[in-house]
Amino acid sequence: MDTISTPVKKLDHDLKMSGAARYTDDLQIPDMQHGKVLYSSVAKAIIKEIQLPQLPEGYVIIDKNDVPGENFVHIVADDCPVFADGVVTYIGEPILMLVGPDLKKVRELLSQIVVVYEEQTPEIDFRKGETFFYHYEYEKGDWQKAFAEADQVLDETIETGYQEHIYMEVQSMIGMKDPNGKITVAGSLQCPYYVHRALQKALGLGPDKVCVIQAEMGGAFGGKEAYPSILGCQVAVAANKIGKPVKCVLDRRDDITVTSKRHPASMRYQAAIKDRKITAIQADIRYNSGAYITLSPVVLQRGLIGAMGVYTFDALRVEGKAVKTNTVPNGAFRGFGGPQTFFAIEMFMNHIAKAVGEDPLPFKLRYLAKKGDETSTRGRYHFHIPMPEMIEKVDKASGYSQKYQEYKNQSGRYRKGIGLGLAYHGCGFTGSGERDMIKGVVRLHKLANNKVEVLTAGTDMGQGLKTTFVKIVAKTLGIPIEDVIIKNPNTDFVPDSGPTAASRSLMVVGKLLNRAAEKLKEQWEDGEEQEVEEHYVHPEFMIPWDLSVFQGDPYPDYSWSANVVEVEVDTLTGVTRVIGAWGMYDVGTAIDYRIVQGQMQGGFLQGIGYGSIELMDVNSKGQIRNNSLSDYIIPTAMDVPHLQTDIVDHPYEGGPFGGKGAGELPAVGGAQAYISAMESALGTNLYKTPFSQEDTLEFLTKGAK
Amino acid sequence: MVTLRNGYIPETLAEALKIRSENQVVPYAGGTDLMIKAQPSSYLFLNKLSALQKVEQDGDMLHIGPGCNYTMLLNHPAVPKVLKEAMIRIASPATRNRGTIGGNICNASPKADSVLILYASDAELKLSSIAGERIVPIEEFFTGRGKTILREDELLTDIRLPLKGLDDYYYYKVGARRAMAISRVAFVGLLNTENGKISRVAAAFGAISDTVLRFREFEAMLLGKTLAEATALKPAFLAKYQEAIVPIRGRVSAEYRKQVCMNLLADFLNSNGI
Ligand SMILES: Cc1cc2nc3c(=O)[nH]c(=O)nc-3n(C[C@H](O)[C@H](O)[C@H](O)COP(=O)(O)OP(=O)(O)OC[C@H]3O[C@@H](n4cnc5c(N)ncnc54)[C@H](O)[C@@H]3O)c2cc1C
CB B67 within 8 A of CB B128: no
Q: Measured between alpha carbons, how far is A434 from A428 in angstroms, rounded to an integer?
A: 8
Q: Which of residues 343-362 of A touch B (CB under 8 A)?
A: none
In whole angstroms, give the CA distance from residue A351 to residue A364. 11
Q: B175 and B222: one domain?
A: yes
Q: Considering only CA atoms, which residue is closest to atom 31 of ligand 1? A: B103
Tell me how far the alpha carbon of residue B50 lies from the centroid of ligand 1, in angstroms: 18
* The pLDDT of residue A266: 98
> Could you tell me if residue A109 is inside a domain?
yes
Residue nearest to atom 8 of ligand 1 (CA): B90
pLDDT at position A705, please? 52
- How many whole angstroms separate alpha carbon A438 and alpha carbon B183? 49
Per-residue pLDDT reduced to its tens digit, A233-272? 999 999 999 999 999 999 999 999 999 999 999 999 999 9
Cα-trace Rg, chain B: 19
Average pLDDT on A159-166 reads: 98
Evaluate whether residue A251 is within a structural domain.
yes
- The CATH number covering residue A424 comes to 3.30.365.10
Identity of the residue in B174, B177, B181 whose CB atom sits nearest the CB atom of A573: B174
Q: How far is residue A394's CA from residue A646's CA, in Å, rounded to a whole number?
A: 9
Mark whether B120 and B60 lie in a shared domain.
Answer: yes
Do B45 and B148 belong together in one domain?
yes
Residue range(s) defining the domain that contains residue B100: 2-162
pLDDT of residue A704: 57
pLDDT average, residue stretch B257-273: 98
Buried b / exposed e over A463-472, threshold 16 CB at 10 Å, is bbbbbbbbbb
Q: Which of B172, B177, B264 lies closest to A613 in CB terms?
A: B177
Contact B177/A638, CB-based, under 8 Å?
A: yes
What was the ipTM of the complex prediction? 0.95
What does each C-alpha distance from A362 to A349, A359, A366, A679 come to in angstroms? 11, 6, 7, 17
Question: What are the Cα distances from residue A357, in Å, to A150, A222, A361, A681?
Answer: 17, 40, 12, 18
Find the CATH number of the domain harbouring B73: 3.30.465.10
pLDDT at A448: 98
> Residue A641's pLDDT is what?
84
For ligand 1, atom 11: residue with the closest CA = B112
Question: 3-class DSSP state for residue A443?
Answer: strand
Calculate the CA A595 to chain-centre distance.
18
Say whether residue B261 is in contact with chain A using an 8 A CB cutoff: no
Contacts of B256 in chain A (CB under 8 A): 574, 693-694, 697-698
Query: pLDDT confidence of B39, banded at 50, 70, 90?
Result: confident
How crowded is residue A130: how many other Cβ atoms within 10 Å of its Cβ? Answer: 8
- Contact call for residues A89 and A291 (beta carbons, < 8 A): yes
Residue to substitute from B96, B171, B259, interface A, most A β-carbons within 10 A = B259
Domain endpoint, select from B118, B133, B162: B162
- Answer whether B263 touches A (CB < 8 Å): yes
Burial class of A74 by CB neighbour count within 10 A (0 to 12, 13 to 18, 19+): buried
The answer to whether residues B61 and B80 touch, using CB atoms and an 8 Å cutoff, is: no
Task: Spell B214-225 as b/e; 16+ CB within 10 A means b.
Answer: bbeebbebbeeb
* Chain A contact for B43 (CB, 8 A cutoff): no
Please return the burial class of B93, using the count of CB atoms within 10 Å of its CB with bins 0-12, 13-18 and 19+.
exposed
Let me know if residue A56 belongs to a domain.
Answer: yes
Start-to-end Cα distance in chain B: 57
Q: CB contact, 8 Å: A18 with chain B?
A: no
> Which residue from A159, A224, A166 is spatially nearest to A614, judged by alpha carbons?
A166
Candidates B90, B97, B141: which one to mutate for ligand 1, based on the most atoms within 8 Å of Cβ? B90
Domain membership of residue A311 as a residue range: 265-430+552-701
- Which atom of ligand 1 has the smallest separation from the CA of B34? 29
Whether residues B246 and B189 share a domain: the answer is yes
Query: pLDDT over 90 for what percent of chain A?
Result: 98
- For residue B70, the ligand 1 atom closest to its alpha carbon is 21
Query: Could you tell me if residue A1 is inside a domain?
Result: no
Question: Do both A473 and A588 map to the same domain?
Answer: no
CB A356 within 8 A of CB A279: no
Tell me: do B29 and B132 sit in the same domain: yes
What residues pair up with A98 in beta bridges, in sequence order? A36, A61
Name the residue of chain B whose CA is nearest to A633's CA: B176
Mean pLDDT of chain B: 97
**Chain B neighbours among A 397-426 (CB < 8 Å)?**
413
Classify residue A122 by its DSSP letter.
-
Do B174 and B88 sit in the same domain of this protein? Answer: no
Expressed in angstroms and rounded, the spacing between residue A574 Cα and the centre of ligand 1 is: 28
Residue A439 clears pLDDT 80, i.e. is over it: yes
Classify A622 as helix, strand or coil: coil
Beta carbons of B178 and A574 less than 8 Å apart: no
Three-state DSSP class for residue A407: coil
**Domain identity same for A66 and A209:** yes
Instruction: Tell me the C-alpha distance between A634 and A631, whole Å.
Output: 9
B10 and B132 share one domain: yes
Instruction: Say what angle helices A510-523 and A465-477 make with each other, to 10 degrees.
Output: 30
What mean pLDDT comes out for the span A12-36?
96
- Domain end residue (candidates: A258, A277, A296): A258
Q: A62: which strand partners?
A: A97
Residue A419's beta-bridge partner residues? Answer: A565
Cβ neighbours of B267 in A, within 8 Å: 413, 572
Phi-psi region of B196 (alpha: psi -120 to 50; beta: other; left: phi over 0): left
pLDDT (tens digit, 9 = 90+) per residue, A631-690?
999 999 899 889 999 999 999 999 999 999 999 999 999 999 999 999 999 999 999 999
Residue A616 forms part of a structural domain: yes
**In the prediction, which pLDDT does A672 show?**
98
Same domain, B67 and B119: yes
Angle A245-A184-A27 from CA coordinates, rounded to 5°? 50
Examine residue A155 and state whether it is found in any structural domain, yes or no. no
In the reported structure, the alpha carbon of residue B255 is separated from the centroid of ligand 1 by a whole-number distance in angstroms of 28
If asked whether residues B158 and B174 sit together in one domain, one would say no
pLDDT at A443: 98
Q: In what order do the strands lie in the sheet with A94-100?
A: A60-62, A94-100, A33-39, A246-249, A172-177, A183-187, A210-214
The domain tally of chain A equals 3
Amino acid at A613: I
Can you give the pLDDT at residue A349?
A: 98
Same domain for B79 and B60, yes or no, is yes
Q: Are B185 and B206 in contact (CB under 8 A)?
A: yes
**B252 & B192 share domain:** yes
A5 inside domain: no
pLDDT in tens, A62-105: 999 999 999 999 999 999 999 999 999 999 999 999 999 999 99
pLDDT for the residue A432:
87
Co-location of A291 and A213 in the same domain: no
Structural domains counted in chain B: 2
Q: Among B144, B162, B180, which residue terminates a domain? A: B162
Give the best residue of A252, A640, A694, A698 to mutate against chain B (max B CB count within 10 A): A694
Identify the CATH number of the domain in which residue B197 sits.
Answer: 3.30.390.50
* B150 and B173 in a common domain: no
